[in-house]
Structure formats: C-alpha cells, structure tokens
Chain A
C-alpha cells in the first residue's frame, strides 16, 4: 500500500477515532470535575447574558467556594447556567416539572415561576430565613440586622401577596435613563452639562440636527427603534394623565383600572380627544421625530449600533444595558447618562405634566428563587447570603455597572444618574379594555409616533373601536378578574383547611394568614362586586 493510499484509507478513520477519543476524555473529565463525590454542587441558572454579568457572578462564586472551604473544610461548587431569554422559559419549566431544575433559579419568562399556584409548588419561600441576621455581615455595619432589612427595598418586592411569603432574593435594581455621547455632545453644543429640562432636551435635539446638517454628517439626536419609542411612551404617557387618573379613580387606590376608566368615560370625565391624552401622544411623537429615518423597521440592536458608532447622540434604555454599552463603546467616546426630563417647562405640555413617574418603589431585580426540590437548600441560602453582603453586592454591581440592592453600598460616579427618582407621580391610566382596541392601539401607535397619523386621527380611530367594543371588553375583563379571585380563594381554602390537619401546627399563624390573604385581595373583591353591579345596571 502506498503512503497516499494509506493516507486516503486511514486518515478519515484516524480523525474520527481522534474526535471520539477527545469526546470521551472531555466528557469523563467533566464528569470527574463536576460530579466529584467529595464536592457538593449547587446550580444557579439565569438569562443575564449582558456583558460582564457572568464574570461578575463567577467572581462571587469563586470567592464563595474559597471561603466555604476555609470555613468548613469542605468543597462546594456553584455552577452557573446562563440560558438565553429565548429558551429560558422552556428550560425552567421542563426542569421544574422533571425535577432536574437548578437549585437556584432566576425567576421570569415562565408562568411556572410567576403563577402563585406553581410558585408554591416548585419554590421554597425565604420567609424562614430572612428575619435572622446574615452571618456574613458579622463585623460590618449591618451586623445583627435581619437579612430582609439589609436590602434597600426591605424585600417588599419579594413578598408575594397571595402566598404571603417571600419568594425571591434580588441582587440589583433597575431604572431607565438616556445615555449620551459626551464627546459629541460637547462638540455639537459646546456644553458640558447634560440637558436640564424638557425644553433644553428638545433644544439639544435641534442643535444636533443643525450640527449634522452643517457638518454633512450622518447623525441623529436619538437612536430609534420600536423598543426605544416604547421606552419614551412608557415614560411620557401617565405623566400627562394625573388629573384624569384622580377624577376616574373611584376606589381611590391611586390608579385607574380598565373598569374605572370605562365608567369615567361614560360619565364624561375623559374622552379620546381630551387635551391631556392628545398632548401625551404628541409629546412622544415630538421626541420620536428625533429618531433616524425608518426607525420603525429598526431593531433594538440597530439602535445600539447607531449609538456605539457615533451616528446617534442619545440612546434610551435601562441600566441593565450600561455595562454592555460601555464595553461596546470602549475608548471611542465618553458615555454620559441623564434622566428623562419632565415636560413641566413646556408651554403646552406643562399644563398637564407636573412630574415624571416616581421610582421610589423600585423593586429588586435579578430575582433568585429557590427550587423546592433542591437537596441543598441551606447551602443555597448560605450562598445567597454571601452574595448579599454589602461588600459582595458592591463588588458584583460595580463589575457590571448595575444599581446595588444592599443598604449602604457606595454608588460609583457612573451609577449615580441611575439612582431612582423619588419626586414623581404614582398613577397609572389603563384604557385598552378590548383585544380589538389593543390591536388598533398597538398598530396605530407606530404610525402616530412616526408622524404619519395625527393624534386627532389616532384618537378618532380608537374612539370608534372603544365605543363599539368596550362593553364586551368590560365583560371579558370582569370574567378574568372573577377567575383571579377564584384562584385566590383556592389559596384561602388551603390555609383554612390546615385548621383540620391532625397535627395542626401554629393555629394562630394559620388564622393570621387567612386574615392577611383576605386583606391583600379585599379591594379587588369589592371592586369586582361593584363592577359586576355596574355591568348589570347598564345592561338592564
């Protein structure tokens, strides 16, 4: 056999054999490494694929494994499983149902991790752990303080009002802001300070457009996409509607539900041509006029690229993007951040908009839940406690430029603009009562914001559908509420039944929990009765 023939015959075999050998060795190595009998392994899964998150979490994990070995003389391994948003829900669902889900799970993207009936079945509550101090805080100013109170939100956002317990431990919190290219801003405006008011913000946008025209540069004031338009819409709609909310808010809870808005509409409190509503739409349209041409077809990533490439001065997004953006920009330019300015100084909008929405109740983000099927609940708690000391939370959040959640963590200069705004309005106005209206509102919204439709035309198109479908929508939403109340009743029944258990434990605690459940849902129950009565009255 010639060498050429030998090569022809055996090279393929050799490569295949080599590949198989590599696979066997690698898999065996992984098996030995990750499933060593002398190492306790806990797994933690999340969908945070932003730049820096995995590294920041891994730093905490490495430090924890080292400290655990020093403290206990035993090895522990924490494996992080990053899964992209697209497959996260399925990954968690199947894992929980199959009993193979990770020990610590970032809650989200799935009904199983949010619906109370599944939550109680698949997750352990943190209630028994959070009222005792975090042992890792010994020797720090937080020593002796219950773990719950070391979080800057007091874990209020972790409390499930239907299950009456705490079902997550957060690592951070998030706000939305406007990022801007400081170098370009300086160059175009000759200023160093960020826009101080709404009119100033609009002036800056105009200046940038003039500057781009003068310089014949491909440059727009704001990087746009539907996502970005949505950010501005969220910020600038309720801002205009505080008076309507107050007048429509029959149950005085500070919000205007679908039912309240419909009843107020019938009573003439507001219409689609209400100046405040028209102004709110016009405001977002004014802002969107500063996006690039054809922004409606752009994706969120396209907007990021425009900003990173210096083709847009500003870019609106959440603090969760800070790290990725800074990494992308690198040394190309300095990134600044400022808050959405309230249009209170605008001659027209100022009549309606007193302040932007309040962020005082901003809750914790990165909600870690504890898998009920975990064999290492105490170890998981220990790990979460380790991660939520002041120093470790500072280390973690500074690594990825996210807001810390533990009390007393120093904010870096980069993060200061993200600090939640406490001066702001609280209300919320909801009128999209039928699916047909929701579709029309969603479809027409982009035409409105892109200037192809006037606010009055948009109002007319919504009013037509609202008048036709609102009653049916009211009925459907009412039915949904009735089902929600029915689900709540399941939880109450479960608690009440505990009184009949052969070894009924703490009877007073059971009684208290029944009372708390009924309290948490009382307003909704009463609203349901009122709204049902209203429906009966108007349909008679």
Chain B
C-alpha cells in the first residue's frame, strides 16, 4: 500500500473521488495541503478573491452539473468567510464538500492565531461535519463527506482538518474506500407502495388538479419523469423558483412560477385546486402566503426525500417519503394499470372545464400573454430579460443575484431545461450571481452563461472580476441598473409610504464600463431601448470576453404579481401598482 502524508492523501482522495475543480484560497493552516496539490494534483484549482466566492462558485458548478462542488479554505477568517456560501447551499440542498484548515490539534481551544470553531460555527447550516482527529482517518472521512453530501437530500458537508495531520514528513498507508456504510445514515431509496397507491387514486379522481414541483425534482434528476407524468394526464404544472426548468416553460401545460411573485394563473390554480401533487417542493412561506388560507379546498399529496419537509408548514393528506424518481416511476406504472381498468379516468369533462378556467386566468393577467409593463419611456427591466432570452435562444445558463432582477429573470426567461436557472432561492444571498456564474462557465465553457444582477448584488462580490481575468472566464454580466436596492425600494414604496430609507445610491456608483475595463474585460452601457437587442447581441458575440452589460432601467418599476401580505391567501395579489385581485 502506498504511503502518503495527510496533505497528499487529501489531494489524492479528491482525485479518486473524480473532483473536476477545487475552488479555494490558501492560508497558514492549509499550506501543507496546497503544497501537496502543487506537487500531486491534476485537478484545476481556482483561486478566488474571497472565500465566499469559492463556495458560490462550487455551488454554481454543483447546480449546473449535478456533481458536488469542492471548496478548500484556511482556518479562522477563511472558514468564516465561507459560511454565507455554505448556508446558501444548505438552504437549497446543494451537494458540496468544504475542506477547511484548522490550527494544530494541540492548539485547539487556546484561541490560537486564526483559530475558530468551524464545526461549531457551521453546525446549523451543514448536512453534516467532521473534525478529523487522526491523519489515517482522512481518506475514509473524505469518502463519507462526499457520500453524505450527494445522497438523500443533498447538502454541504464540512471537513475540518488540523494542520498537524497534514504534515509532509508523516506518512500513512493510503487506500480510498470504494463504498461507505454508515449505520446511522440510510436515506430512503423507495416510496411506500401503499401510500403511492392512495396517491394515484386521489390524483386520478381529481377535477381541478395542479402539479406543483420544486427544486427537489431538479436535484433528483427527475424532470423528464415529471414531464412525462404531467403530459400523460394533461394536468397543469407550476414550478417553484427553485424548480424552474423542471417542466419546459414553453409548454402549454406550464402555468409559470408560483408564489409571492408567481404568475396569476399559477397562484389562482393552486388556490382553487382540489388535488395538489407537490413534488420535491417544501411549501415554504414564499409559496404559501398565509398558511391558514393556503389552498382551502385541496387535498395534498407530498413527495419528498426528506421527511422533515413533509407537514412542516402545511399538513399533507398523503405523504410519500422517497426519492422523486423512484416514486414518480411507481406512480406512472400504477396510473397506467389503473387506466386500463378505468379508461375514463381522469374525468375529461372536469379537466376540460378546469383548463378553460386556467386559460381565462392566463388571458386576463398572464405575464406572457400580453406585455404587463409600459412599452414607452425608459427601458423596463422585464424587456432586458426578454432581450436576453431572444439573444441566447432560451439556451443560456442564467445565474442571478437577489432582488427585483432575480424575480424578473425568473418570470421572463423561459427555462425549458433543468439546471439552467441558478439562483439562491432559500437564503436569498446577494453576491451569489457572479461567482456562481464562474462555476457554471468553467464546467460548460461552450455555453452562454449570463449573470443577471443589480448594482447592490454585484458589488457584494465584484472582486471576482479579477478571478475571471486570471482564468479567462467569459461570463456575461447583465446589470439591471436602477440606482436603488430595487426590491427594498419596492417594499418601501408599498408599505412605508415611499420612505426610501438607505436604499438609494445617490451618485456613489462606479462607472461599471470603466471598472470592467480596469480588470481587462469589456463594458457595454445601454440606455436607449432601440439599442437593447443589438448591444445584447454584441455582448454575446464576444465569446471569449467577459462583458459587463450595464443597462439603465426604469427605477420606478415594481415586480408584479405580488402576494398581498400579511393575511392574504395565494389568490390575493397585487397585479400592478393600482390593481388587486
């Protein structure tokens, strides 16, 4: 058996695990590991400019590829800087392994230089964590970390490694385990067949069904199965913010996104449904609005790999714990069986009437059936997204930051494929967009990758323009520039009588074109609506260049629909500044 130092074992284990990229930042506690990477490793390492960006880049990579992202940071500030990114991944169930350096074992607890209790600090925002105690445990611990991060409901796993365990002069027998068995960790591999039968019966008896699918469908690689199920039944589908792309947006059966800024027809259909099939979604507060008023006449079938997601906020009538793909497959074969016996299921007349109702809603206030914003005057943010959609043929990977631009992107970019829409849904992390776009672009160098952002968010990780220079990462940044923290301003307009407390930048913003140029990139400024498509095309024509597209948009624009809160139901929405349902 080969003898390796702790540092070398880490480098080798990552290689044996098939890791494609390491996103990281060196420092004292990880220098042995970095030396081993230098000497041993063939895995490209991306040196970010801030550890938060390393976690977001790994996260973007994971969302786009389905493989776990890998991060390497040093102890103390390196570890704490990674925290926001770990929490972001945790909230959206993204597989990630974070290796953090720790001070030497004998110094732990003594407030040593750059010491922080990483396992303690990260505890509430990880799926699991390890503090490695013996160098010989490194390979097995890394194997376990990847196993836990990627199986069941995925999530980030932290492996904290004291510096002395990675010393170059102490060698240990290295063998990377082929598989893992843990007596305390066995995620469900199938759904309960009795529950699935009950669910199918309820589903086929529905008169006003809605399929409500979330990020779990994408994480569980079940988009095709979901699409097949929906189309064999002709049932309407709505996706959550995290689930966009799970069902093709351009298909007739798609109702658009649901929730706080969801489509009118999606929210109305949910509210009036008699049966809801919730798949890999967690009925969170941005979807349900007031829980007591949520879908008053609906029976809820809830499929999720994580039992804690079921009946956490809304009581499920038929809970099914299991991986989405296995459960959907079981359901489909049961549906086929059932329909052989009863070919008149589901009730075609009722379904036809339901679709008529939905089409009326769609025609009345659907975002895609007619322009829902003014088409004169300054450029509207929605138009920018529509232009982006046209120019990229709907095929781009779109990452976003957090705020109005995120909602406009979710509403107006029609995602037909899973893993193309990359955003921080659960934690709502500003600063996510650019670094996650880097992770996506590195994994898919031949695809268009756009980061839709705003002046607030982009400045939270704008230092990564330098990383993009170093590694030649030609993402396209689409900055919806309105001079405000737009979503904060919108709430202040609506609920605080327009008092814009600390949400305006006055004249403090940089010239983003010059800023991009200072890093060696290209900047394009757009103010005139007539130039929008042409300049957008110009940006995407520059295949090998990072282009910062700074688009001046109407600061008065709000995101609609918007749930009326507090105490509103899903059907209570603002449709514009003056119209309410």
The answer to whether A and B interact is no
